[in-house]
Amino acid sequence: MSKNVKKIVLLYNQYIFYKGELMGGFEAEGEGGYWESDQVAKLMAQNDSKSKNMHGIKPIIEEDNNNYSIKAHAKVNIFLKITGHKDGYHTLLSRFMRVESLYDTITFVPYKCDTFTLEGCDGVPLESNTIYKAYKALSDHPADLDILEFFNTHKVLVTKRIPSQAGLGGGSSDAAAFMLLLKEVCNLPLSTQELAKMGSSIGADIPFFIYNYPSANVSGFGEKVKPFDEEALDIELYTPNIGCNTALVYKTFKENLLKDVSVCSFFGWDDIDSKTLLASNSDPIALNDLYNAALLAYPALAEVAKEGWYFSGSGSTFFRIKS
């Protein structure tokens, strides 16, 4: 990385720390006139420009006997750092990595339906299902075209493999895969960026899955996704029989740990490859701010944790690189 780029990164990170307007939600600790407004505006414009130029990686869609299928991969958080709390939500900086070996499958199956029909998500009310929420968002969009008609002749079948409440993003990945599959099958005139923006209103992790990158730095409320140039690692997962409610973990963090956030402690992490980050940080608590919160909310996690394993998202899955 050039000296100029490093300078921009440092200035941008310092701006976040002192002003708290992009990622933080912190109150300004210095005088408001410390940063030159035009300098900050340029940095923000550069960030926005990079986001707009991302098109994502086109997903692989399989067709067999008029069945259309797509894989909805799990993800792990190589690191996850809370950067603040704003408008009732936590903001973060995290490295998301796709897990190649674990995925749900979303399939459109020919079937005469009177209403939108979703199978394979037992125990989740239809109105609460992220796939149904994605369907509603797309069908209410001006570009809906033949969506309603399509689901009069097709049902959605989900083959679940990703465990729930495990920090692997299963529900968000399913919704994103559904949106990507429907966009291709029905030729929806929506860009990847438009699809990601629509998905962000359903779930914070959905934009990452929409862009379909093997690895990416995710920030803000989850809506800022920047691809990181590395191959997905060969990840081994361990999910104990404990479900961690994401809302409870974040609430626990806010009530007990938010005051201890130190944004300067992870400057530059978004420039370091994932394998190096894991090799140089053996403490899972240091890598994932939500781990301590999960331990407070679910003390049994401490009893099943394994040395040398890292913690993904809000839990309860542990992971490591396969040797």
Distance CA 117, CA 101 (A): 28
Q: Catalytic residue at 7?
A: no
DSSP E strand boundaries for 126-234: 154-159, 215-220, 224-227
Q: Hunting for tokens 């993003």 — which residue is that?
A: 169
Structure tokens at 313: 């998202």
Q: Catalytic residue at 205?
A: yes
SS (H, E, C) 250-313: HHHHHHHCHHHCCHHHHCCHHHCCHHHHHHHCCCHHHHEHHHHHHHHHCCHHHHHCCCCCEECC
Residue 240: in which H helix or E strand, if any? none
DSSP string, 195-221: HHHHHHTT-TTHHHHHHT-SEEEEEET
**Among the options 71, 75, 133, 183, which is catalytic?**
75
**Among the options 205, 224, 270, 289, which is catalytic?**
205
Structure tokens at 221: 């409320």
Active site residues: 75, 205
